Amino acid sequence: MFKFIVKRLLLSVVIFFFAMFLIYTLIYCLPTSYVESTARELASASSKMGGKTYHEWLEQLNEEYGMNKGLVGGYFSWLGNAVQGKFGDSWKWNMPCTEKFSKVIWNSFFLGLVAFIIETLIAIPLGVLAARKQYSITDYTVTCVSLIGISLPTFFVATILKLVFAVRLQWFDISGMHSRDYIAENATAWTSFLDVAKHFVLPALTLIFVGIGGLMRYTRTNMLEVLNADYIRTARAKGLPESKVIGYHAFRNTLIPIVTILGGSLPGLFSGALITETLFALDGIGYASYYSMTGGDIPFTMFYLSLMSILTLLGNLISDILYAVVDPRVRVN
């Protein structure tokens, strides 16, 4: 088992190396004039606030990102810095990338976590139910709802929710992290928490709406497969009550792939929700990176892309390991 993990980890490192090389190549190939004009705009914007000059930004970029050392040499010098956690200063946010990350990551994480927990709690029971009564009205409803969830574009769900709850009913604010009358000095930890929590409701709903379908469908498909298995027939044949057949024999086996996929999606909580956060102007990692990417902030973009790659690889790794751990039938070698 230990050898398996080490092997997978090493493989992931290799994949990360090449994936980042591809991404670095892409960034490296961005037209120089684009990079320069962005840097110039940035310098003129930040000069009022005592920021860096255009040359300082470009020099820093060249230094941290090895843009002047050729593709391969530059990549290694960037990688060397990145491994030490030196991602340079973000152009857009005017602070080190890692500092911006640590500032906003928990907003993203908690938003993702809340949505994830609620999603799991709703999707799994409904998926099991649908599979138990295949081709019944319940099944069709669950299938329909989950397919609609998968098919709805995030921005459409967000816009509808905004229209209904923020514009018509006025229960929530349209976007942002705090209410208009929120004053940081007067707020206690508790009122501040409540205020932020209130602004998380619509984004969380959006995420749940969009994400719930996939999990529901996955549960249903797996449950159906399990219910067709021989050991379920055996369990029924030996006269076990249906509740025990489903709840004990079938459900536990259905859990194997589900736990694997859920475990694999845990690192994704740190990658933020790009579109949802942007639409609701929640100061999370998705929002920060969206504006970095559209604003040509190369350091933060590289940081975000590396983060995304690491999280994807980590997710795969976790689900592989979990699969081996949860299912004793899987031989690790």
Partner 1 sequence: MADYKPNHLNEKLKEREQEELKNKDLNSSENKPLALDDSQRVKVLSPARLVTKRFLKNKLAITGLAILIVMFTMCFLGAALYPYGQTDKFYKIAPLELDYAVCGELSSYTKYFVNEADMNDPVLDDLKLKFDSYIIQMESSNETELSVLQGDIEFIIEKVVDRVYVGYIAAQMEDFGTFDPILGEITAGETVEGLAEVLSSAVKEKKESVEFDGDIYFIKQVSKTKVSLSRLTAIDGEKKTIIATKLVFDAVNHKEQIDNKFKIAVLQNIADQTKPFTYGDKSYSFDQEDSDNLIIKDESGDPYVYISRYSTRHASGEDSLDLTFKMKAASIVDQLEAENAATYSFEYEVPQINPDTEQYDLDENGNIILTKETVNVVRKETAGERSFYFKYNMNRKLITIYEKPSAAHILGTDGDGYDVFARILFGGRVSLLVGFVVVILETILGVIMGGIAGFFGGWVDTLIMRLVDIFYCIPTMPIMIILASVFDAYKVDPYQRLFWMMVLLGVLGWSGIARLVRGQILSLREQEFMIAAEATGLRTSKRIFKHLVPNVMPQLIVSMTMGLGGVILTESSLSFLGLGVKHPLATWGNMINSVSTIEAMKSYTYIWVPVGILICLTVIAFNFVGDGLRDAFDPKMKR
Q: In the complex, which residues of this chain contact partner 1 (CB under 8 A)?
A: 11, 14-16, 18-19, 22-23, 26-27, 30-31, 34, 37-38, 134, 140, 143-144, 147-148, 150-156, 159-160, 162-163, 167, 174, 224-225, 227-228, 274-275, 278, 289-290, 293-296, 301, 304-305, 308-309, 312-313, 316
**By C-beta, is 37 or 47 nearer to partner 1?**
37
Q: Using the structure block, give the residue that is written with the tokens 């993702």.
A: 112
Report in angstroms how near the CB of residue 141 gets to partner 1 at its nearest: 11
Q: What are the residues whose beta carbons fall under 8 Å from the beta carbon of 138, sequence distance 6 or more?
A: 129, 130
Report in angstroms how near the CB of residue 247 gets to partner 1 at its nearest: 19
The token pair at 190 is 């508790």
**By C-beta, is 107 or 292 nearer to partner 1?**
292
Q: Using the structure block, give the residue that is written with the tokens 């859920």.
A: 262
**By C-beta, is 187 or 251 nearer to partner 1?**
251
Four-point Cα dihedral 188, 192, 198, 202, nearest 10: -170
**By C-beta, is 79 or 152 nearer to partner 1?**
152
Q: Which of 317, 315, 306 is nearest to 84 (CA)?
A: 306
**By C-beta, is 256 or 308 nearer to partner 1?**
308
Report in angstroms how near the CB of residue 127 gets to partner 1 at its nearest: 14
**By C-beta, is 33 or 186 nearer to partner 1?**
33
Report in angstroms how near the CB of residue 11 gets to partner 1 at its nearest: 8
**By C-beta, is 52 or 92 nearer to partner 1?**
92
CA 152 vs CA 24, 60, 212: distances in Å: 33, 43, 11
Helix runs in the chain, H state only: 2-28, 32-46, 54-65, 71-83, 97-132, 137-151, 154-161, 189-227, 230-237, 242-244, 251-265, 274-280, 285-294, 298-326
Report in angstroms how near the CB of residue 185 gets to partner 1 at its nearest: 29
296 conformational bin, left if phi > 0, alpha if psi -120 to 50, beta if neither: left
Report in angstroms how near the CB of residue 333 gets to partner 1 at its nearest: 16
Report in angstroms how near the CB of residue 100 gets to partner 1 at its nearest: 16
Number of other residues whose CB lies within 10 A of the CB of residue 219 = 28
CA 61 vs CA 58, 80, 303: distances in Å: 5, 14, 13
